[in-house]
A and B are shown apart, each in its own frame.
Chain A
Amino acid sequence: MFTKKSPALRIDEADLKCKSRSGCDFFGNPEWDGYCSHCYRKERERQQNDQKKSPNRGDSGSRTSADSPLSLAVAKRFNKFEEKKQQQRQQQEKRNKFSKLASSLRKSTSIRDTGRLPEPWLEQSPEVERIKQDYATHLASLSPELRQLINKYIQGLCRSVCSDANNISADELSEKVQKFYQILSKCMDAHNINQELKESVLDYCEKFTMTVLHRNLFCPPTTTDEEKDLAIQKRIRQLNWVNAKHLDCRINETSEEVRDLVYTSITDLLGMDSEKAPQDKLQAVVKCCRNIFLLLQSSVGGPASADEFLPALIFIVLKANPARLKSNINFVTRFCNASRLMTGEGGYYFTNLCCAVSFIENMTAQSLNLPELEFEQYMSGEVVPTSTWDSALMMYEGISLMYEHIAALDDMHKRADSVLEGTQLLQNTMKKFVFEMKLNVEDILARTQITLNSSEKVPTDIDTENPLSELLPPPITPQVIAGGSQKLTSFLASEKEALNLPGITKYAFPSDSELDALGTDSTPGDGVLPLPISDSQEFLLTPSSTYGFSSLDELATPDELCAAQASLNFVQGLSAVNYDIDISDTCSDSSAGLSPHPSFVSMPEQKENSSCIPQETGPASLLDTSESPTSKLLLPSPMKPVIPGPGGDSGEGSSPPVVSLTTAHSHSEEESELKTVDPTVGVSSLTSNSEYQGFTAQGWKIQSIPCDTGPSDLNSNKKSKGDPAN
């Protein structure tokens, strides 16, 4: 640089300075366009900004010019749509340029590779590939030449459409496409392709080309379709107050089924815009219309005719307000195979759609049978009709929700009922099962009775075998009675026990006095217990009375009761005394005290006893036996008081109750004889009872004797000997 400038030696310093007008004092540099580094950077930034802006400015200018007439009419909601459209157009333009370039390049090579389409736009869309795949089988069945020919036609069309799309009118484009269809059709006729295959191949060609060329052909820039779209959109929005009644169409707005179908058909209609190929768009329309017929069927009651269908379709279009409606309709009318459009079901429905759109566009007060003024008011939004579709739907939505809930509740109710029923059933079966099981068990028991009996016998045998367990059936019955009722006495008894002998003696003593016990018995008793007599009288009253209750209440067998009552008072007294004592014994956990006694008394008798007094004694005896060994030892003292009582009893006939253990043993044989009588006595007979009591008394005495009285022993012995005589 320096060298460059060096030849001109007369350079001014100003020339070397930075060029920038801001007048910075740095030196400039030719590489930086004569700027200093600082200013050069600034300059560059400025230029870059300008470059960026300039193309933008151009674009936005064109866009706004395009938008301006529309944007006035377009609601906010369509700005996006508008933008998208614009972008599409730009892309389209770019692509067109590209494709033109590509096609011009291809011209040189295209002759060679007619078999395949190397068009750059094909690779871009996967849906084109999908179409190819869908029709691959159909195409494969064509002869290779024909396939090539068809491909050539397709290529030709694509190329010419791409090159001319922006230059020629939509009508011309349409003519081109229709010609293409006709040529294809002819070509296939010439090759004697059967009808079905021809249809599908035509279908393929149409679908393929239209999908590929959709961007070029849909709403071409030379048309005013877009404005028409917006116009119809606005129109439909203005007409949003129109309801089924205005159109005289028989749509049952309050039926859930119909409402669903309305929504479905609206969705179908809206789906038309998302399809690319004209036949797919037609299919969307067909779907929509079929749903309309479905919903009409429920309200008309038979196959609906056009008289019902068209109003319904108009209604659906009004409610759907499909996007780019006009563009879609025009696209289909222009580029759909004309023969398809004119004959098939799709053509019919499409025609109806055109009719509906036309009707909507031209709708007047007259066509809705409304007065002019009212129509104008509705259109201007001054008045809103009361019964609009929306309000009906809103109401209905709530109601239907309610019904749904009610139905759900009903369902739950039913289920609960069924569950209850089920449980009932289960319960019954369970009961039945139990019952049957019982029967079975009983049956089995009946069959295998022997073993059971033996098992029953076993305990009895055990009892009998066990000398201790020998129950005193006779004594026990009374025991039970007393034990249940006489808590007082038991308390008393226990107290007496606590007090030891004196209390007992008191107790025993009065009984003796009452019963006019034999002098022999009483005298020793008196001698033993002189002091407590006064007290004993009191005691006497209480126990006797209690006994009275107990005896009446608790004697399980009425016979016993009767017998007891019938018996002499003194006998009762005797029994009462005995019982009291027994109770005290039981209370003090010594009820067994009695049991040992009989067991001692007679081994052989037991069987007889058990037989005689099976009910009450049985169990009692068992208990007794179990407790007997311990109780014996523990409860001698309570028994002592009894001794004088029985002594009194025995006083009547056989009152030698006081027997020592040893004597008891010795007398066992005699006693056993007596014992045989005992049970009967216990149950019913007075005499035997008295006798028996005597024996029981003896038994107790036997225990008590060691503690108590020496003299009584003698008496008892004598008396015991006397008893057998009785």
Chain B
Amino acid sequence: MSNGQGSYNFKVVLLGEGCVGKTSLVLRYVEDKFNDKHITTLQASFLNKKLNINGKRVNLSIWDTAGQERFHALGPIYYRMSNGAILVYDITDEDTFKKVKNWVKELKKMLGSEVCLTIAGNKEDLSKDRNVSIEEAQRYADSVGAKHFLTSAKLNQGIEEMFVELSHRMMERHAEVELAQAQSTLGRAGSMRRNVMVVEDDMMVPPDNSVKGACCGGYRVASS
């Protein structure tokens, strides 16, 4: 989101199963601390990070999401209208990588190509227990148009680069969208309209989302 005067507001969601280190990652990035008692922030679920990229002010709103399986269905509510998504997996746990694949599919369906995807293989410090090969992860990332990073919150590896790179891409994407909107005057209204409608949508069922459908079905049964 640009709000004029060359500054950007980007919403970035952190997706990934529980215990892959989403929170550590973001805390390391924002507070530069790991498992520290002196972390000043009260919570690690919503954090702002201000960057200056190419002379432009960029404000990243990083949204953490609940990774438990039971909350999986709530994903769309979290990542709607997000500019970027970081999909985190644990390199020692192959299941978490499978989860990432699911998330990517969902995001693609819901947000199309508007969202910039980054796949982060966390816990690089435990590389001796690696269960997800770098090559495989890289190949998959390329196939879905995402960037792949190996990070370690503990050792503070690859995190800064990952966020900066994502910011760059989001700015590019934003510029493209602006251009597209400039070309068609309706574009802006359409996008705005879309934004509004997304809000509405969250309570409606995306027909292709089976999990979501099941939820709402459950609700109807319960309410009837």
Contact = CB atoms under 8 A, between A and B. Distances in A.
Interface string A696-724: 00000000000000000000000000000
Contacts of A303: 23, 27, 39, 41-44
Interface stretch (A21-29, A112-120, A305-313): A305-313
Interface stretch (A32-40, A134-142, A354-362): A354-362
B23 A361 contact: no
Contacts of A355: 66, 71, 74, 77-78
A690 interface: no
Interface string B57-91: 00001011111101101100110010000000000
Contact of A307 (B18, B39, B61, B214): B18
B199 A341 contact: yes
Nearest to A353: B77
A306 B1 contact: no
B192 A364 contact: no
Interface in A231-257: 231, 234-235, 238, 248
B9 interface: yes
B186 interface: no
A303 B30 CA distance: 13
B215 interface: yes
A410 to B, nearest CB: 31
A364 B196 contact: no
Contacts of B9: 339, 343
Q: Dominant SS at the A interface?
A: helix
Contacts of A189: 4
B53 interface: no
A369 B69 CA distance: 11
Contacts of B222: 235, 238, 361
Contact of A364 (B27, B35, B218): B218
Contact of A358 (B3, B200, B202): B202
B199 A334 contact: yes
Given A234-B223, A339-B3, A348-B61, A174 B44 contact: no
Interface residues on chain A, size class:
35 or more
A293 interface: yes
Nearest to A286: B46
Contacts of B195: 178, 338, 342
A333 B73 contact: no
A175 B193 CA distance: 7
B45 interface: yes
A171 B77 contact: no
Contacts, number: 145
Contact of B68 (A302, A304, A307): A307
A366 B73 CA distance: 13
A354 B77 contact: yes
A617 B174 CA distance: 124
A174 B197 CA distance: 9
A339 B46 contact: no
A367 interface: yes
Contacts of A362: 73, 214-216, 218-219
A305 B11 CA distance: 17
B67 to A, nearest CB: 6
B185 interface: no
B5 interface: yes
Given A195-B5, A231-B223, A293-B42, A351 B77 contact: yes
Given A338-B199, A342-B81, 11 more contacts: A174-B200, A178-B195, A179-B189, A307-B18, A307-B23, A307-B64, A309-B66, A310-B71, A345-B48, A361-B223, A362-B214
26 contacts: A171-B200, A235-B219, A238-B222, A293-B43, A296-B43, A297-B42, A302-B37, A303-B43, A305-B45, A305-B64, A306-B63, A307-B18, A309-B45, A333-B202, A334-B196, A338-B195, A343-B1, A345-B46, A348-B63, A351-B78, A355-B66, A358-B215, A359-B70, A361-B215, A362-B73, A362-B219
The 9 closest A-B pairs by CB, nearest first: A362-B215, A305-B23, A310-B66, A306-B64, A361-B219, A231-B223, A306-B45, A293-B43, A348-B46
Interface of B: 1, 3-5, 7, 9, 11, 18, 22-23, 27, 35, 37, 39, 41-46, 48, 61, 63-68, 70-71, 73-74, 77-78, 81, 189, 192-193, 195-197, 199-200, 202-203, 214-216, 218-219, 222-223
Interface of A: 171, 174-175, 178-179, 182, 189, 195, 231, 234-235, 238, 248, 290, 293-294, 296-297, 302-307, 309-311, 333-334, 338-339, 341-345, 348-349, 351-352, 354-355, 358-359, 361-364, 366-369
